Amino acid sequence: MANKLIDIVNVSKSFDDNLVLDELNLYIRENEFLTLLGPSGCGKTTLLRILGGFETPDKGRVIFEGQDITNLAPNKRQLNTVFQKYALFTHMTIADNIAFGLKIKGKSKAYINDKIKYALKLVNLDGYENRSVDSLSGGQQQRIAIARAIVNEPKVLLLDEPLGALDLKLRQDMQYELIRLKNELGITFIYVTHDQEEALTMSDTIVVMNQGYIQQIGTPEDIYNEPENAFVADFIGDSNIISARMVRDKLVNILGVDFECVDTGFGENKPVDVVIRPEDIDLVAPEKGIITGIVTHVIFKGVHYEMEVMANNYEWLVHSTDMFPVDSVVGIWVNPFDIQIMKKPESEDEEAVIIEE
């Protein structure tokens, strides 16, 4: 287990009367790719700015390698930030952009030139030293922004939606570039995005945020397969989220029909929420299903068909490589392991789950 590098302790932040972060606790390990994921306004960028020193929390502390850095200036921290808008200097060459921070630190010319060559090689832009910023594509400008950050040898790289301005293909290419860079550099990446696919692709750990609270912390597999509440299940990928009743351990009543499951500890005859991913539903002959329904919509998505099946007054979303035409009568079958049971929140406040690891 890697060492704890950053500890965020009881951090709260408001802007005017708007509470953006509410007594947030989180720790980040060395050499981790940690993603802060959530909708606009959930507090993820504010948290990143507090880490970078661009905002000061109203209360709480930021501990870095055992030292309190809550009030330390950004340039005194061993962290560098890559912004969505790149913030490159258009009147400077690529080399001057990359060297900017090193010159301020008074490094020698030979050291700076070595670092520029090393950084450009690392981001696959060898020989671009004398090019102008305006001559580069969006993806190349993004790489230069990353090169400028890594020459300063930060222990942590903070990335605020850095791929947001790129088109889909370039964004996917850059995701793999960032994973490669993180592995080669051996530094900690803290990444902010609202793009679930980006988070699932790149992260070691995902922190799902909403309304200033942490909803869940886990690996991409945990977050996708074992969402802890309806917000996480709904935000990460497509889901069927259905109100149900836990009959007893390993048996749940969904839409009036008993389904076997593997969950225990929810009590007997207790209201619960159930999550079933669309790819985990098998459409079978009517007599082989747990319940039967009628296919109401079919869309071809390339990798699979997306179908809607009306069964027991609920429109089930189904992803399958097998196509069942509209108006087909089908059985719905779900493996007990693919039924995820969640406790129903008893109040809105309870929907904000504070995780302590």
Is there a common fold for 4-225 and 239-345? Answer: no
User: How many other C-beta atoms are found inside a 10 Å radius of the C-beta of residue 235?
Assistant: 22
Confidence of residue 180 (pLDDT cuts 50, 70, 90): confident
Q: What are the C-alpha distances in Å from 339 to residues 87, 114, 209, 320? A: 46, 55, 24, 17
- Looking at CATH, the fold of the domain delimited by 4-225 is given as Rossmann fold (3.40.50)
**Over the stretch 128-145, which tens digit does the pLDDT of each residue have?**
888 888 888 877 888 888
Domain ranges of the chain: 4-225, 239-345
pLDDT digits (tens, 9 = 90+) for 301-319: 999 999 999 999 999 999 9
How many alpha carbons lie under 13 Å from residue 49 in its C-beta half-sphere? 14
Please check the confidence at residue 354 and state whether its pLDDT lies above 60.
no
Looking at residue 146, its pLDDT comes to 84
Reading the block at residue 67, the tokens are 């030292």
The CATH number of domain 239-345 is 3.40.50.300:
no
More confident residue, 89 or 348: 89
